[in-house]
Chain A
């Protein structure tokens, strides 16, 4: 069978499959979901789906909320600030230390990432407002955690509904203590997913860090090779295994946003000669702002898998002089042996295996190259909270006939996997055990299943090892009874 025929058959299967899952919905909602499901048509160059639209109620969307996008993603990893989950206790509790944003510091003294600070709203706070309580909380933080560099206020749903003025409290307290205090309006009901939370969090950095900097000059002399890593949350150490490559090629990383990041790094970022952006979805806003306001150019990169890493190193280097360009080649050459050995070891075990992904941020496209480096094929992918520009970028990664599902519901995902029968599913904790029970190997692709890092050359070896251990674990032979 020729490849063209095979692809046409896959497209036909996808069409049928999508038709089948849509039939399960009430008509009105089947029509709405239809816009989010499709097949990549290479000839048209588009995924052919709509995105960044409200989830329909009652369907077990995998999405989270704006608070998760701000506190959980953007702000939470800034290690020397205290991030208050402002409102009832739950949001902060469920997101407490759950995202593995690695950092080095003395927790509870000069670093606070894996702590849960909450205003633990009670009924009286809802009725009478929480501003006085917030004021007092900031006083108590100053008293008990004097080495904090600043405070952020991560709004939970009630804050925006009861009319609290957290901006006024922030201004007053910032003046009183001479510290950065950032109110973030990331109430969970805002927007349609985590995504608006990222945007709001980016804007808060613009308005309350950049524009209100307490006139602290950066503590270092600039060099022509200063860059900032934007949109790496250092999950399992990802930003570190990225930073090391940039430094080895001769660049100097003056800031990490936001994994293992500090307020000083945020403040110094406008001095970068180039912002290099990994998670486009969550931090393109501030990158564009810095470009407009400070003239800092930005470039997207992808540090998953040796093919994309090499391409990205060269792309980054193209913004600098020959020293850096040579540096990039030197780094690529230096890691060639590791890459070759990794592929020699794992590719034979993984060749031809099919993968379905459903993740957030950048990963539904960014990790595809890493799978392909191992001889694997991504046959379906989708974003929890992607926008049109994410799907547009995805077209550069995927093959003709790839099944696309935006904001997939648990029902759809299960049916898709049942029919497509991939060898591996990569998604999140809520999906993991569903597919494992179905006998399908699974890796969490948000948290790296508590492994990592996956970024950079060091990370690729771990990625390869983990995919192998997921797919080739003996356990999958035993799911069916032998009698």
Chain B
């Protein structure tokens, strides 16, 4: 018996004891109809081969371990960025349970969202009654200032019309006539979570600027000198938003964040649960029409939103999740150009500190090969940073990237000698990445938590940057934007490199001459 009350052991150690290993070996050979060991070895090795890679890349129908989620997840993200806003997802209820769990596992925070809980009868007759009742219940119980509606694929397949349904719900008195209920159709079978973010944010902005579903006159734009800022679907939103606000404040920029999730996903433990906290004030969302320009940090997250904003007469500028020195330079210079505010010395010093850190450490990164995957904008931002560090990105993959993304990546790679042996893969998944890592190995992999399966199989050390990160805590509280954010990413990369160095130089009297205390 290995269990002991004095030092209780759990799954990490318990099942390694002889009684359990013997039990499991017996289970396998007696009852599991196992594959013969030599056959298992043969097939395991075959999955690492070029032949397997070719078959794997010839897949036309099956997706395995994709690095993307579905639209309504992004819609819930966008909605939560507004003051006291309750995301309301029209369709089956299980979806909402999934979004809430998914975000809570990443942010280690509660995530509030409701469903209209449609079932078989709604599949036949439509979900109008569910929406009417659901809005009334949500309004009564959770007292939101705004309910932002999106859809699951069920509601989309049966063709429920949100515009008409919401009008109907208001007529039935579910919520007051002038209550803000922006909406967006977010079919899960189109695009990914970044598309859903875009659709939902566009829906919210459109609602406030275009007359709140015909309950008020359309807003007339009277240009002022403010800037709008959109972060996009971002796993680092808590740290990033605070960093951006700090930079804007240092520059003296007047700004409106359109979609600020930094407080709702970072509430204190002080005895009170805050279902709503922070977020863009609704009047600010409306007044954002008057801004002189809107900056989006994530182009592929905001395609339609920026079209809408541009049509109002504003200048729009989109970045691709800028990380590092030059990305941050371009961002700040654009802010400075638009506002006429100079970049203060304090920020220039931060820049100098990041450059200093890179100069101190880049020898450990220079020439190292990296594979990376993630959302389209994030992969572009990270790839640019890797090139600055003298690393050699080798495989860049984005399941929800399209051909435009692929071209953008190729253009970026072409701009640096360090990018010449790299290839961009749009629409591919992490099972494709597995073949790439076996047939064209790299030194490090950058991706989200799911990358740990690739790390296990291919032994490529995983550096966790992306969404979701379930198995490391609190990194979302630190920015990856701004020079300070660049420093955080640099340190994340370096820590893994040094840990890996130590782990591969600690074989006593074999290779531990390199087990240096100074690196």
Q: List residues of B (203-253) whose CB comes within 8 Å of A's CBs.
A: none
- Distance between Cα atoms of A190 and B119 in the complex (Å): 6
State whether the Cβ of B170 lies closer than 8 Å to any Cβ in chain A: no
CB distance from B21 to the nearest CB of A (A): 10
**A57-B131, A338-B4, A438-B272 given as contacts; is B94 within 8 A of A64 (CB)?**
yes
Kindly list chain A residues whose C-beta atoms are within 8 Å of the C-beta of B319. Answer: none
Bitwise interface map of B from 28 to 70 toward A, beta carbon under 8 Å scored 1, else 0: 1011111100011001100100001001100111111110111
- Residue A483 at the B interface, CB < 8 A? no
* Contact partner, A338, options B1, B32, B93, B117, Cβ 8 Å: B1
Q: Is the CB of A264 within 8 A of B273?
A: no
Rounded to whole angstroms, the CA-CA distance of A73 and B54 in the bound complex is: 34
B94 lies within 8 A of A65 (CB): yes
A470 within 8 Å of B (CB atoms): no
Q: Which residues of A contact B122 (CB under 8 A)?
A: 189
CB of A247 within 8 A of CB of B66, answer no
Given contacts A149-B33, A461-B8, contact A437 B135 (CB under 8 A): no
A90 to B157, CA, bound (A): 15
Tell yes or no: B336 within 8 A of A by CB. no
**Proximity string of chain A (376-406) to chain B, C-beta cutoff 8 Å, 1 when within and 0 when not:** 0000000000000000000000000000000
Contact A56 B133 (CB under 8 A): yes
Task: Name the interface residues of B146-205: CB closer than 8 Å to any CB of A.
Answer: 152-154, 157-158, 187-190, 192
Q: A24-B140, A65-B94 are in contact. Are A123 and B189 (CB under 8 A)?
A: yes
- Considering only residues 212-266 of chain A, those with a C-beta below 8 Å from chain B are 219-220, 236-237, 240-241, 243-244, 247, 253-256, 260, 262-265
Closest chain A CB from B386 CB (angstroms): 26
In the complex, which residues 93-130 of chain B have their Cβ closer than 8 Å to any Cβ of chain A? 93-95, 97-102, 104-105, 108-120, 122-123, 130
Q: Does B73 sit within 8 A of A, measured CB to CB?
A: yes
Residues of B68-93 contacting chain A, CB below 8 A: 68-70, 72-73, 88, 91-93
Q: Which residues of A contact B5 (CB under 8 A)?
A: 338, 341-342, 344-346, 461, 464
How long is the Cα–Cα vector from A430 to B100 in the complex, in angstroms? 6
**Interfacial chain A residues near B273, Cβ < 8 Å:** 414, 434-435, 437-438
Partner of A57, one of B4, B11, B120, B137: B137
Q: Is B316 an interface residue (CB 8 A)?
A: no
What residue in chain B is nearest A439 (Cβ atoms)? B271
Contact call A141/B62, Cβ cutoff below 8 A: yes
Q: Which chain A residue has the least Cβ–Cβ distance from B111?
A: A430
Shortest beta-carbon distance, B387 to chain A, in Å? 30
Q: Which of A57, A109, A480 is the one whose CB lies under 8 Å from B44?
A: A109
Contact call A59/B32, Cβ cutoff below 8 A: no
- Which of B12-20, B286-294, B321-329, B476-484 forms part of the interface with chain A? B12-20
Docked CA distance A430–B39 (Å):
43
| Known contacts A140-B60, A189-B119, A451-B11; is-contact A58 B1 (Cβ 8 Å) | no
Measured between beta carbons, the chain B residues less than 8 angstroms from A126 are: 157, 189
Q: How far in angstroms is the closest Cβ of chain A from B36? A: 10
Does B515 sit at the interface, judged by CB under 8 A? no
Once the chains bind, are A237 and B15 in contact (CB under 8 Å)? yes
Can you sample 20 A-B contacts with CB below 8 Å?
A56-B117, A57-B130, A58-B116, A58-B136, A62-B97, A63-B93, A65-B93, A68-B97, A88-B153, A88-B189, A110-B43, A117-B64, A140-B62, A188-B154, A189-B118, A189-B123, A341-B5, A429-B101, A436-B269, A462-B14
Interface of B toward A, CB cutoff 8 Å: 1-6, 8-11, 14-15, 19-20, 23-24, 27-28, 30-35, 39-40, 43-44, 47, 52, 55-56, 59-66, 68-70, 72-73, 88, 91-95, 97-102, 104-105, 108-120, 122-123, 130-131, 133-142, 152-154, 157-158, 187-190, 192, 267-274, 431, 434, 450, 453, 457
Residues of A in contact with B (beta carbons under 8 Å apart)? 24-26, 29, 54-68, 80, 84, 87-91, 93-98, 102, 104, 106-110, 114-123, 125-126, 133-134, 136-137, 140-141, 143-144, 146-147, 149, 156-158, 160-162, 188-192, 194, 219-220, 236-237, 240-241, 243-244, 247, 253-256, 260, 262-265, 268, 334-335, 338, 341-342, 344-346, 409-411, 414, 428-439, 451-453, 457-458, 461-462, 464-465, 475, 479-481
